[in-house]
Amino acid sequence: MAKKKMILDLDTGVDDALALAYALATPDSDLIGVVSSFGNTQVTTAGENTLKLLELLGRTDVPVFIGAAHSSTTDSFETMQVSMDIHGKNGIGDVALPAPTTALSSQTAVDFIIESAHKYADDLVIVPTGPLTNLAEAYQKDPEIENLIGNVTLMGGALVVPGNVTPYTEANINQDPEAADYVFKHAKHLVMVGLDVTLQTLLKIACIGNSITEGVGASSGSATYPSVLQRDLGTEKGRVFADIFDYYIDAYYDLDINKAGAALHDPLAVGVAVDPNLVTLLPLNMMVTHEDGRTIGDPTRLRDPHKNNFAAVAVDEPFYLER
Ligand code: RIB
Ligand code: CA
């Protein structure tokens, strides 16, 4: 079987950065490109963050494409204060990285997605961890690719838990509910890795080699946390990722989102894209409500025996953290 080709669609914030590192490290797929989106930050900052991180990780061969600067229903975008609080003003925990030596690709994100869909078809997996604006636009520009792209595994949505922006909506879906609705309805095979599972996977302070904050230990429930981002590995990569995650974990603590650690949202989507056994999937044809960004069953498609949507509803946290 041919190795899967992966495209990441990142609004490069903190957890997107770890998704990128995971996608590069896994032997189970080839990362062929990263497209950028507005979301945690402005799209140009997201693209530059990706270039900088690729350089840090020694993979300047991976091309980066600029995508949507705002949602499909607006003509501008302002970064939300809460995004800056959680991800820093620069999106990556206010950690300064050297200017990249590589440049953004001149091809657009949408055209790169379309070209890759025709080239790799079923072997292509797209992993959006920000708004779904780029993918919706690609589907609309070239409807043929709906039947080509083999797998879309996204971080976003909330089926059985409250949202993290309002009681109903999750941040990535909230940025562009119309685009998300289009993608849920048109993707050939779509896996939603939402807050239902990502909130069950935490990176704790003890994981990154800092002094342990009182009450924050290295294990919780049945999970024992490995040392994944140790600054004491002595590598520049380890130090930078530990610094970036310090910011994120502190934000979770200070904003009282979770005092035990920070949710590993976006890397879980990469993990599930390469190994769906990390989660339990519920087959359910879904929709996104345009007015309030809810990700729910689509009444018009509920009885369709063919399911194109699968929602992750349980996760094997120790297995994931080990990965
Ligand atoms: O709701 C969590 C999601 O919103 C993550 O993808 C995070 O990076 C932000 O984009
Ligand atoms: Ca993200």
What are the pLDDT digits (tens) for 85-116?
A: 999 999 999 999 999 999 999 999 999 999 99
Two tokens, residue 214: 């009182």
CB atoms within 10 A of CB 240: 22
Q: Is 236 exposed, middle or buried (0-12, 13-18, 19+ CB in 10 A)?
A: exposed
Q: How far is the CA of 136 from the centre of ligand 2 (A)?
A: 17
Instruction: Of 31-35, 227-231, 251-255, give the range with the top mean pLDDT.
Output: 31-35
- Provide the H-helix boundaries in the chain: 14-25, 43-56, 81-87, 109-120, 133-141, 171-175, 177-186, 195-198, 236-254, 265-274, 317-322
The mean-pLDDT minimum among 91-105, 155-169, 177-191, 201-215 falls in: 201-215
The ligand minimizing its distance to the Cα of 265 is 1
Cα Rg, the chain, nearest whole Å = 18
Closest residue to atom 10 of ligand 1, CA basis:
130
The mean-pLDDT minimum among 134-143, 185-194, 274-283, 313-322 falls in: 313-322
Closest by CA position to 311, among listed 274, 275, 286, 277: 286
Residue 241: pLDDT over 70: yes
Closest by CA position to 59, among listed 24, 97, 105: 24
Closest by CA position to 282, among listed 309, 310, 308, 315: 310
Q: How far is 124 from 150, CA to CA, in rounded Å? A: 6
The answer to whether residues 8 and 270 touch, using CB atoms and an 8 Å cutoff, is: yes
Q: Is 172 in the pocket of ligand 1 (CB under 6 A)?
A: yes
pLDDT range class, residue 209, cuts 50, 70, 90: low
Residue 2 has what DSSP assignment?
Answer: P
Q: Looking at the annotation, which residues are catalytic? A: 11, 265
Handedness of CA 66, 77, 128, 132 (dihedral sign): negative
Q: Is 37 in the pocket of ligand 1 (CB under 6 A)?
A: no
Q: How far is the CA of 124 from the centre of ligand 1 (A)?
A: 23
Ligand 1 atom closest to residue 13's alpha carbon, by position in its atom list:
8
Two tokens, residue 269: 């989507």
Residue 226: pLDDT over 50: no
Q: Could you tell me the end-to-end alpha-carbon distance of the chain, in angstroms, rounded to an integer?
A: 22
Q: How far is 153 from 276, CA to CA, in rounded Å? A: 10
**What average pLDDT does range 30-59 have in this prediction?**
98
Q: Is 9 in the pocket of ligand 1 (CB under 6 A)?
A: no
Q: Is 155 in the pocket of ligand 1 (CB under 6 A)?
A: yes
For 280, phi then psi, to 5°, come to: -100, 130
